Amino acid sequence: MNFKTFAAFVGPSVFMMLLFIAFPLATVFKNSFYVTQPVYETVVAETCTPGFLTQTCVTEEKSIPRLDEDGEIVTTTSYVGLQSYGNVLELGRAWEALSQGSWAAFQSIDFWKALRFTLMFTLVTLPLVLGGGLAIALMINNASRLVKGPVIFISLLPFIITPVIGALSINWLFRGDGILTAFLEWYLARDVAMFAQAWTIEVLLMVYRVWSVAPFAAIVFYAGLQTVNSDALESAVIDGASRWQRLKYVVIPHLMPLIVFISMIHLMDAYRAFEEVVGFSSQGYVITLQWLTYDFLVPDEAGNRSISRASASAMLTMIGIALLLIPLLRRTWRDHKGGH
């Protein structure tokens, strides 16, 4: 393939990646080192009480944003270095809480609270997604031709549903007098409040993630099962290998590249969890790093947004994803070099 043909195929993809990935990422990285603030000016304001004979007037100074000729707020941008990262991490406050042995005080810091749950959410759901996806794939693979189509359709439904809609659906099942809450109250003969404490909300968030993502893993694994060497399986049967031994020593090693692929997709996606917090309205108890970045961008009472802190939070999230992917990338690189 000559260079012109190669450039014609690769050029549009490279351009789109630079436009929608590299440029926004570079902009976020730059914004994390700068703070843009409104320029305030002090004005004298007089406030008078109603009345004529007893009217009282008070003069006071107020700080208001300065406006330009078009009525827009005048802003100034200044370089602050790593200050935005420090404001997000709050290392001094975190170290003080840990040195005093106060876990509650440490967990009251938004970033560390979000980081703890995000890591737990990502790492706990990963084996459940892999195991559940493989179980569904084996069920589909062993189903008869008559029911295989309906089984695939039913298995894919959680993955097809829009994430926010799926989260809201699970929320409604357990919220207040939801169907499943009513069943638990009848079965346990006691009142149940699934959204009154953090740990039950965390469990529901992880259950929803596994329920919604396992079908994707199942389809990938099902495709991989179609390429398993039948001669190797027959040889294992002849040698007296049980179903579990065939799965452990023949099927899983064959599916290992797909396991690594699904793990990478899941780590990148789960570490950026956001829909679950919105769908379950869990921000009062449980938040994620992605939701924290969004919260920084919500305008305050004065209409200002913490763009610098949001950018710093986004960059810290990217660093966390990169650290989680390092073991899988190293394994992929070793397998690639070993194959040559």
Residue 20 has pLDDT above 90, yes or no: no
| CB crowding 77-100: b at 16 or more within 10 Å, else e | eeeeeebbbebbbbeeebeebeee
Give tens-digit pLDDT for 173-228. Answer: 888 778 888 888 888 888 888 888 889 899 999 999 999 999 999 999 999 999 98
Question: The tokens of 193 are what?
Answer: 């409040």
The predicted pLDDT at position 122 comes to 95
Percentage above 90 pLDDT, the chain: 37
Domain at 103-339: CATH architecture:
Orthogonal Bundle (1.10)
pLDDT band, residue 302 (cuts 50/70/90): low
Q: What is the pTM of this model?
A: 0.84
Distance CA 217, CA 140 (A): 13
Which residue is it, tokens 């690769």?
Answer: 10
In a 13 Å sphere around the CA of 299, the CA atoms on its Cβ side amount to 4
43-52, 117-126, 145-154, 168-177: segment of lowest average pLDDT: 43-52
**How confident is the model at residue 120, as a pLDDT?**
95
DSSP per-residue string spanning 64-117: EE-B-TTSPBPEEEEE-TTHHHHHHH-HHHHHHHHHTT-HHHHHTSHHHHHHHH
CA distance 304 to 301: 8
CB 286 within 8 A of CB 272: no
Sign of CA dihedral 181, 152, 222, 251: positive
Mean pLDDT within 230-253 = 87
Domain limits of the chain? 39-76, 103-339
